[in-house]
Structure 1
């Protein structure tokens, strides 16, 4: 797809947006010396625009930008915040419209792989291989997430947010259960049953799943797939479907069993009709466990909106069998990219390189994807993050540190430009199943056929 297809970009903005979900110990960053642009030279400052999302309290933008400008005094960063509340769907729509109208932009961030891939396909993003080559590193070695797409690199990964399980430690104690250090999905299901209590409107569920919904939060339909080092997504690296993988079937069976048979998970109809959200479900103690991404680190001890009135612990993402290698899960990151039409690509690259290394540490909100963060630095980062919550004393920090230290990213399957359509198809077929409009075999067959049609129609 060519860079000037802006009409199609606007028409696909809504579809694309559906797939969005959603310091201390810093060492010297190689990026500080990388490149030969005007970032550190004398003369008038170069001004770059950074299109982003999230409030100051969520993202600490002032810390990132001020620490960068202190290191690069000849580069000034203007934050263009397209969603103060951190709504990535709103951000995606506004970003596409800004690009289509020719608005000046230098740096942009994408909240997940599908959003990143589609904008690359539409020509919004510049490859940065030449800058990386000057520094002499490989993305897959330098970072925990490899952002290579079709043989080129268009972004660097920011925060490293593996998924884990948040646990109400008080509920565990009440049920006579330990905080799991290594467990399987079967054990997770057993915990959910034992933690479920009561009936009717006051019923407390063992767990709550926040998706799929509206073509987003599709992670909740591939839970058993996700704990694999390879082929953990709906499509394989060669572009063929992975929906015939037995672990996809297991993922769907597990969800159905927990809701319909065990009645240990919040019903899908409640989630949709009542517009439920995982934060109040967990912090209001309506559900004892939630599977979620570790972006929750900065909220784990409670916030003004959702105070923590119980003790919380963290368990690793469950495995399929005890013999499986642990640590693998879905991993989310921010894809930090240089705009294709930027007039200051060198300076924009310097900013994203800084942001994805020392900048994330200065931000003090997230664990970086940068592999050069040492264990002692990681512990300090976590202490800083949890210390910024309302009730850090109620958090089992050792369980959190252990889980994060052992987390690994599955091999990234290069997302396709029609990712949103695949998500939509799977979401619709899952919804028919969970609403008892079709059985499991029909759901799997229809999802497979619809995905295959999308693959075939998008072949070049």
Structure 2
């Protein structure tokens, strides 16, 4: 039977200093030979602690962990839910406090690349390369998300939430357009133009705003395999990339020239949201993450009065491989100070493969899932929506099957400063205060100043 432990809030925030002071080594394991000896005692039953931001409703832990413990009877999983409401920020703070206070940590779950990369840098996470090599597989062949940091692997990816394009299929039919299965940004722009009528815009972009939703400032960058961020892996600026310029050009073209995109002034002044814009049929195409799978067939709050289809994230050129898109996942890691690294790895390997199918809540990053199993998971997700029959299931399966993540570039500590600059310069551009050439120059200069100040 699964054993649960629910976290009691710790008031000693000063303990966070202990994380920074005590966890060093740039991600290398600080566990000594004593831990290695413990790992070899595989004949004895062990209990591993699993700290997660995910709550029961979203992750089906009871069923999932029970299935693991049945398959591995000598490994008990003690679940520690760090936020009952699934708040990732709260969960990360409590995880840091647990590390600072010397609590037992074995399996750690991170919800985003920044949290993952930062804890690796603090030395909280153990490299798992030896286990991967021992098993004899490669991450790129086995999973859709590459989790490598600094030439090492510190996590296996759980769920797979790629971005895609939501389509109002009724609008497509009225315009005589097919559901795209492979397309470029130029074709996306053409679709947006043809879908725009007196009643609705062809497309809606939900960002940038308030220094967030920066995916909408990386449209063309995100279609590539590498260098998809504003800062490259070597720490240099990527604002001189022609793909950043292309993104600005596309945004201006669609809003100002084609008038096919919802005006930025409306988005900010009316506090518009992508759900209202799509389900209210105010925009025919919305670029967003596939966390929307659970809402595609409509919900009580957003009932569906039309048919929905899904298209892949556009690529830059006709000859490109395609499939690359922003992706969110859960990073499943082994704690650096765990005395049961082998067992912890056994759990994350099972959870990110067979466990994803047992859990049945998300599309897995694991490539070992069959098309039939993928279809079953999707059917289960859609079945929980109000009107699943209005969703073009085939288009959804094809997009999720073909999507893949680009290489992770560790976020820089001054990322928020950069985002603020990009947001401010973009607003000057889209509000007609400066041209693209001036926007690029100002963004590059301000970004370089931030980079130099942080050297």
TM-score relative to the length of structure 1? 0.82
Contact 2:307 2:391 in 1 (8 A): yes
Partner of 2:53: 52
Partner of 1:295: 291
| 1:391 matched to 2:387 | yes
Shift of 1:420: 4.1
Shift of 1:343: 4.2
Question: What secondary structure sits across from 2:310 in the alignment?
Answer: strand
Structure 1 residues 206 and 98, CA gap change in structure 2 (3 angstroms): farther
**1:352-403 Cα distance to aligned partner (Å, 9 max, x none):** 2121111111121222112222333333333333333332211111111222
Distance 1:9 1:304 in 2: 44
Query: Unmatched 5+ residue regions in structure 2?
Result: 1-13, 21-36
Partner of 1:178: 178
Shift of 1:166: 0.8
Partner of 1:143: 143
**4+ residue runs over 6 A deviation:** none
**1:147-206 Cα distance to aligned partner (Å, 9 max, x none):** 1111221111112222211101112222332212222222222322333333xxxx5332
Q: Which has the larger radius of gyration?
A: 2
**1:99-121 Cα distance to aligned partner (Å, 9 max, x none):** 45555543332222223212222
Contact 2:146 2:406 in 1 (8 A): no
**1:322-349 Cα distance to aligned partner (Å, 9 max, x none):** 3333222222222112233444433332
**1:72-121 Cα distance to aligned partner (Å, 9 max, x none):** 33433344334444443444444445545555543332222223212222
Partner of 1:337: 333
Query: Unmatched 5+ residue regions in structure 1?
Result: 11-34
Question: What secondary structure sits across from 2:304 in the alignment?
Answer: coil
| 1:349 matched to 2:345 | yes
Partner of 1:13: none
Q: CA RMSD in A?
A: 3.0
Shift of 1:135: 2.2
Structure 1 residues 392 and 39, CA gap change in structure 2 (3 angstroms): farther
Structure 1 residues 78 and 36, CA gap change in structure 2 (3 angstroms): closer
Question: What secondary structure sits across from 1:373 in the alignment?
Answer: coil
Distance 1:66 1:274 in 2: 47
TM-score relative to the length of structure 2? 0.83
Shift of 1:290: 0.9
Question: What secondary structure sits across from 1:223 in the alignment?
Answer: coil
| 1:232 matched to 2:228 | yes
Contact 2:15 2:101 in 1 (8 A): no
Greater displacement, 436-445 / 366-375: 436-445
Partner of 1:114: 114
Shift of 1:430: 2.4
Partner of 1:27: none
